[in-house]
A and B are shown apart, each in its own frame.
Chain A
Amino acid sequence: MLAGSRPGVGKAATSRRLAPLCSPSPGKSKEAEIKRINKELANIRSKFKGDKALDGYSKKKYVCKLLFIFLLGHDIDFGHMEAVNLLSSNRYTEKQIGYLFISVLVNSNSELIRLINNAIKNDLASRNPTFMGLALHCIANVGSREMAEAFAGEVPKILVAGDTMDSVKQSAALCLLRLYRTSPDLVPMGDWTSRVVHLLNDQHLGVVTAATSLITTLAQKNPEEFKTSVSLAVSRLSRIVTSASTDLQDYTYYFVPAPWLSVKLLRLLQCYPPPEDPAVRGRLTECLETILNKAQEPPKSKKVQHSNAKNAVLFEAISLIIHHDSEPNLLVRACNQLGQFLQHRETNLRYLALESMCTLASSEFSHEAVKTHIDTVINALKTERDVSVRQRAVDLLYAMCDRSNAQQIVAEMLSYLETADYSIREEIVLKVAILAEKYAVDYAWYVDTILNLIRIAGDYVSEEVWYRVIQIVINRDDVQGYAAKTVFEALQAPACHENLVKVGGYILGEFGNLIAGDPRSSPLVQFNLLHSKFHLCSVPTRALLLSTYIKFVNLFPEVKPTIQDVLRGDSQLRNADVELQQRAVEYLRLSTVASTDILATVLEEMPPFPERESSILAKLKKKKGPSTVTDLEDTKRERSVDVNGGPEPAPASASSTPSPSADLLGLGAAPAAPTGPPPSSGGGLLVDVFSDSASAAAPLAPGSEDNFPQRAFPKHPRISAGGSEFVCKNNGVLFENQLLQIGLKSEFRQNLGRMFIFYGNKTSTQFLNFTPTPVPRCGLDSLTRTHLNLQTKPVDPTVDGGAQVQQVVNIECVSDFTEAPVLNIQFRYGGTFQNVSVQLPITLNKFFQPTEMSSQDFFQRWKQLSNPQQEVQNIFKAKHPMDTEITKAKIIGFGSALLEEVDPNPANFVGAGIIHTKTSQTGCLLRLEPNLQAQMYRLTLRTSKETVSQRLCELLSQQF
């Protein structure tokens, strides 16, 4: 449409001179062009070097040619001096070409810079607005530090001087902005700042346009100094939006009054919170309402320019509304307006509407309003032609997802995944994985979703995703049985993705025992199923499967010979891959020489993973760039319940944790390993003392853990939910914030206990005066008596960045107690004083010793404790899926013995134990009756002491 060459006014002498130069360039061969250019360069060089001094005109001509050659893509390494000479010419054209050459071919030669700066200085002082403009534009385009040093003082003066021309003011404002961006330290704040703010009131809208950009940038860094700009910006904006479309004349663009200035003013306002002055605030709200109203008016022109300009202002107004996040009415209106755009025929508008809605979804006021558009968005996902719009639709679904619609959204995303563009599949996979985790109401659904994910888009399921599902399964004992069953079933598909084999191998290796009771998934069947996939898998997966096999040796002694046969096979023992060979050799040896106890220890179930930021989330952030995901995530995370604030082990590191045997010896009273855990109990809870032995035993099979997730994950901050998780577990991360991580490892025996507290400095700066003090809290029942004695030594008051210190607390339980002790930590970080208090998970049940007894004994004692005060009963709804194995594990983890075949009803659980305190021992019987239909439990506790019954009942009830 703009085709057709017509010689115009602009085609002055220069174009004719250049014509021969570029005539061969289009079309013809590359060599011809290079030849032509080299000839011309040689010619120019000789002219510059010639004895005859060139006049200004020829100098300009050749400098201009050089520039043109440079723009054609050739290197230019001379001519700078001639260009600098042009700067001092008094002719506009010569000066202009000189400045242009310098701006385009910036040179760091210091002598040249001195000359250039000198020329600029002269022009700035010339009071000739044209020359001043050229000089300012040159500074603004180059913006080097040297220029900032030379002119940062001068430019503000020009900007606020009363006699400066408007166009020079505009240039000066933006020139200063450039200098401030490159060297903020060199731009002095001073009197001029207040006068700059008043430029918002300038008659000349061009000056206001330029000044607004400057003020916005300055206000971002110095909000206080530019606070007055808010009211000025509001009144200016108000004048613009209420003006008739003809009022602003030059500045009206397709019937929209000053659209760019409006956008800039709205951006400036986004540097500040909503105005405090009610009058200003009212006026601003009026403006925003007017803008929203105008969006509803019929367009004044059919041209796309009109609607684009209008919508540019509208979208910026919506950004401001979202930024303020304080006017529910406006937020909802904004959302509805965007809702209309979702079905607009302009692709750009659909795109932008989806994008803005993403941010609206994170505001509590408009989240619900956004959700009403779910069907439109899902529809967009299915029918939209433009891939980038579909991508935004996925983003929005992700942003609007919450507990109420998670199942629908995840299902839609999964079904879209089957046909999705290849370029966005991985991202969708990550999103589905995150949503499934975050909003999982029950973990069975979560496991199903992820397995589906692997089935549909196995190639796009990155390691992070399948690591994460394993982390979660390991950390949530209520889902382990289900997970084992599901992966077992999924593995039966004739062709399954390698990622599924990995997940399957890992999970069956850990929890295969939970489904081994069923003859259809007996140990041998499980093994054969996995092994049938073995040969189709890559080396890392095969290595993982070998680890699974050796775990089977521990879980199912009956398949040991079969597995040993496999390990002994030539394809393993003599495998060309060193890793596989080494594993085969070592595992075979291990299975032959080690006693069952050692096997059970070495091959114990993996300890729970420390809770961190989901690695998938980290990956998504990396993929999308920090600015887009973080904010949304942070705000959402605050509102979302921490799904997996599960139990966590101490920061696992061999260096800082004493070896397990030392721990046991250190405990003094403790005999060696108390009756080794039955290998098939499935309760990692029992043996937390040993959870480190897995890593301590790692040297046995070097490299064998490389395929296991725990190494692959960096530490990420995540606040631990703390509290009741520790009732049944002794190790984990107690607390974590940006600065500090506190890990725990504890052991209890009778009425004594010892707790290792690990303080990790997560920053790179030293903590000073670091003083952690555990203090027992007195229950309200008795303020005078001490229930718990805590003894500890102070730790080193300085903790280096990244370092970890350990504190040992010796605990003595004097009498039964309810209130857990508190750990107060004070330290100085960077000049500020930090204070952290967390509850230490020392609860009464820690002093439980299990007692085995027969059915007869149990009921006899039960009857003896028939006094109404001795019995406490609680009926409550199950918070977790009701799984027999898990419940058993929890009761054992709680500290009591689990008595099998005592209760006539096999569905019930009974337990017995003694609570040891210094002053007394309290026998304790418990009975837990699950009601699967109602999803309820009845828990009855009988002890000889009312307070003990009460407290234990409270503690145990939280666990199911």
Chain B
Amino acid sequence: MPFRNFKIIYRRYAGLYFCICVDVNDNNLAYLEAIHNFVEVLNEYFHNVCELDLVFNFYKVYTVVDEMFLAGEIRETSQTKVLKQLLMLQSLE
């Protein structure tokens, strides 16, 4: 967990690094797990996610991020709820 003016919390999944930049006094472990929670949702949504899924569907990734994190805060933590919402949106396409 390296620091700057803020701090960066990261987690590595195979070749991908997921980073979150948070305030220095924010809870490290909570955000570390938030990353994992996010990745689990991606994995579920893309059915065993890989790097190319994220590249080709970048606009969907943005939607997932917006569902889970908004205005720099954690918005929703329930994987079931997030996925339900995502599938609903997908049906609109």
Binding site for B on A (CB under 8 A): 1-6, 8-12, 14-15, 18-19, 22, 64, 67-68, 71, 91-93, 96-97, 100, 103, 130, 137, 140-141, 143, 167, 170-171, 174-175, 177-178, 181, 205-206, 209-210, 213, 249-251, 253, 258-261, 263-264, 267, 305, 308-309, 311-313, 315-316, 319, 348, 351-352, 388, 625, 627-628
A2 touches B14 (CB 8 A): yes
What are 10 A-to-B residue pairs whose CB atoms are below 8 Å?
Answer: A2-B13, A2-B49, A3-B14, A6-B47, A6-B50, A11-B56, A210-B70, A263-B30, A309-B29, A316-B30
Complex: chain A residue closest to B34, CB-CB = A260
B interface list, Cβ under 8 A from A: 1-2, 5, 13-16, 24-25, 27-30, 32-34, 36-37, 43, 45-53, 55-60, 62-63, 66, 70-81, 85, 88-90, 92-93
Contact A1 B78 (CB under 8 A): no
A181 nearest in chain B by CB position: B71
Q: How far is the CA of A175 from the CA of B71 in the complex (A)?
A: 6
Contact across chains for B74 and A628 when beta carbons are under 8 A apart: no
B85 to A, closest residue via Cβ: A167
Contact A92 B92 (CB under 8 A): yes
A10-B46, A312-B33 given as contacts; is B71 within 8 A of A174 (CB)? yes
Q: Is the CB of B47 within 8 A of A9?
A: yes
CA distance A2 to B78 in the complex (A): 22
Known A-B contacts A175-B71, A309-B29, A316-B27; the reply to A64 vs B59 at CB < 8 A is: yes
A11-B53, A167-B85, A206-B75 known; A309-B58 Cβ under 8 A? no
Query: Separation in Å of the A253 CB from the closest CB of chain B?
Result: 7
**Taking the nearest CB of chain B, how far is it from the CB of A217, in angstroms?**
9
Q: Which residue of A lies closest to B36 (CB)?
A: A305
The CA of A258 and the CA of B76, in the complex, are separated in Å by 11
- Are B66 and A137 within 8 A (Cβ)? yes
Nearest neighbor of B13 in chain A, beta-carbon distance: A2
Q: Is there an interface contact between A5 and B52, defined as CB atoms closer than 8 Å?
A: yes
Are B76 and A206 closer than 8 Å at their CB atoms?
yes
Residues of A within 8 A of B60 (CB): 10
Q: B49: which A residues are within 8 A, CB to CB? A: 2
A12 — which chain B residues lie within 8 A by C-beta?
Answer: 93
Given contacts A9-B47, A9-B90, contact A174 B36 (CB under 8 A): no
> A residues within 8 A CB of B34?
260
Q: Which 10 A-B pairs have the closest CB atoms?
A: A250-B78, A15-B56, A312-B29, A178-B71, A92-B92, A213-B73, A312-B30, A174-B70, A174-B71, A140-B71
Contact between B56 and A8 (Cβ–Cβ < 8 Å)? no
CB pair B45–A10 under 8 Å, yes or no, is: yes
B51 to chain A, nearest CB (A): 8
A2 touches B50 (CB 8 A): yes
Contact A92:B93 (CB < 8 A) given known A178-B71, A250-B80, A625-B24:
yes
Which of B33, B70, B80, B81 sits near A259, CB closer than 8 Å? B33
- C-alpha spacing A4/B51, complex, angstroms: 9
Residues of A within 8 A of B80 (CB): 249-250
Assess whether A14 is in contact with B57, with CB atoms less than 8 Å apart: yes
Quick one: given A97-B59, A143-B71, A308-B32, are A209 and B76 in contact (CB under 8 Å)?
yes
Residues from chain B with Cβ under 8 Å of A18 in the complex: 56
Most buried by A among B1, B43, B45, B53: B53
**Bound CA–CA A68/B59 (angstroms):** 9
Q: Which residues of B contact A14 (CB under 8 A)?
A: 56-57, 59
**B62 contact set on A, CB distance < 8 A:** 100, 103
With A9-B46, A18-B56, A103-B62 given, can you name 16 additional A-B contacts, CB distance below 8 Å? A2-B13, A3-B14, A11-B53, A12-B93, A92-B89, A97-B59, A140-B70, A167-B76, A170-B75, A178-B70, A308-B29, A309-B29, A312-B30, A315-B27, A348-B29, A388-B1
For the complex, what is the distance from the CA of A875 to the CA of B14, rounded to whole Å?
76
Given contacts A3-B14, A213-B74, is CB(A352)–CB(B29) below 8 Å?
yes
Q: Closest chain B residue to A95 by CB distance?
A: B92
The CA-CA distance from A658 to B64 in the complex, in Å, is 72
In the complex, the answer to whether B55 meets A22 with C-beta atoms within 8 Å is yes
| A167 to B90 Cα, complex, angstroms | 16
Q: Which residue of B36, B71, B73 has the most chain A CB atoms within 10 A of its CB atom?
A: B71
Inter-chain CA distance A833–B53, complex, in Å, is 66
On chain B, the residues within 8 Å of A305 by CB distance are: 33, 36
Partner of A250, one of B24, B52, B79, B89: B79
Residues of chain A with a CB closer than 8 A to B32's CB: 308, 312, 348
Given the complex, which residues of B lie within 8 Å of A167, measured CB to CB? 76, 85
Contacts of A251 in B (CB 8 A): 77-78
Q: How far is the CA of A12 from the CA of B56 in the complex (A)?
A: 9
Min CB distance B58 to A, Å, is: 6
The residue on A at minimum CB distance from B87 is A9
Q: From known contacts A137-B70, A175-B70, A309-B33, infer whether A15 and B57 are also in contact, taking CB-CB under 8 Å.
A: yes
Partner of A8, one of B46, B51, B55: B46
In contact, A10 and B27 (Cβ under 8 angstroms)? no
A8 lies within 8 A of B53 (CB): yes
A1 touches B14 (CB 8 A): yes
Q: Which residues of B contact A5 (CB under 8 A)?
A: 50, 52-53
Residues of B within 8 A of A2 (CB): 13-14, 16, 43, 48-51
Do B77 and A258 touch across chains, with their CB atoms under 8 A apart? yes
- Contact A96–B73 (Cβ < 8 Å): no
Report Cα–Cα, A534/B49, bound state, in Å.
68
From B14, B36, B74, B89, residue with most partner A Cβ within 10 Å = B74
How far is it, in angstroms, between the C-alpha of A181 and the C-alpha of B62 when the chains are bound?
22
- Distance A312 CA – B44 CA, assembled complex (angstroms): 24
Query: Could you tell me the distance in whole angstroms from the C-beta of A373 to the nearest C-beta in chain B?
Result: 20
Contacts of A68 in B (CB 8 A): 58
- Which residue from B1, B15, B56, B93 sits with its C-beta under 8 Å from A351? B1
| Option from B57, B66, B89 in Cβ contact (under 8 Å) with A11 | B57
**Which of B29, B33, B50, B71 has a CB less than 8 Å from the CB of A3?**
B50
Q: Inside 8 A of A97's CB, which chain B residues have their CB?
A: 59
Q: Which residues of B contact A9 (CB under 8 A)?
A: 46-47, 90
Query: Shortest Cβ distance from B62 into chain A, in angstroms?
Result: 6
Q: Are B74 and A253 in contact (CB under 8 A)?
A: no
User: A2: shortest Cβ distance to chain B, in Å?
Assistant: 5
**B53: contacting residue among A10, A22, A177, A348, CB under 8 A:** A10
CB-CB < 8 A to B2: which residues of A? 388
B45 A96 Cβ-Cβ under 8 A? no
A91 proximity list for chain B (CB < 8 A): 92
User: Smallest distance from the beta carbon of A572 to chain B beta carbons, Å?
Assistant: 48
> Given A348-B29, A351-B1, A352-B29: A260 and B53 within 8 A (CB)?
no
Residues of A within 8 A of B15 (CB): 3
Chain A residue nearest to B70 (CB atoms) is: A174
Are B74 and A264 in contact (CB-based, < 8 A)? yes
CB-based nearest B residue for A134? B66
The answer to whether B77 and A261 have CB atoms under 8 Å apart is yes
Q: How far is the CA of A261 from the CA of B30 in the complex (A)?
A: 10
Residues of B within 8 A of A93 (CB): 92-93
Q: Name the B residues within 8 Å of A258 (CB-CB).
A: 77
How distant is the Cα of A264 from the Cα of B34 in the complex, in angstroms? 13
Q: How far is the CA of A93 from the CA of B62 in the complex (A)?
A: 13
Asked if B71 and A4 make an inter-chain contact with CB atoms under 8 angstroms apart, the answer reads no
B77 touches A100 (CB 8 A): no
Q: Which residues of A contact B79 (CB under 8 A)?
A: 250
A96 touches B63 (CB 8 A): yes
A316 CB contacts on chain B under 8 angstroms = 27, 30
Distance A470 CA – B32 CA, assembled complex (angstroms) = 47
Kindly report which residue of chain B lies nearest to residue A13, judged by CB atoms: B93
A181 vs B72: C-alpha distance in the bound complex, in angstroms? 11
Measured CA separation A626–B82 after assembly (Å) = 39
Q: Which of A143, A260, A388, A627 contacts B25 (CB 8 A)?
A: A627
Q: Is the CB of B93 within 8 A of A130?
A: no
* Nearest CB of B to A109, in Å: 23
Q: How far is the CA of A312 from the CA of B34 in the complex (A)?
A: 11
In the bound complex, CA of A91 to CA of B91 (Å): 12
Given A137-B66, A253-B33: A6 and B1 interface contact (C-beta under 8 Å): no
Our pick among A4, A22, A253, A625 for the contact of B50 (Cβ within 8 Å) is A4
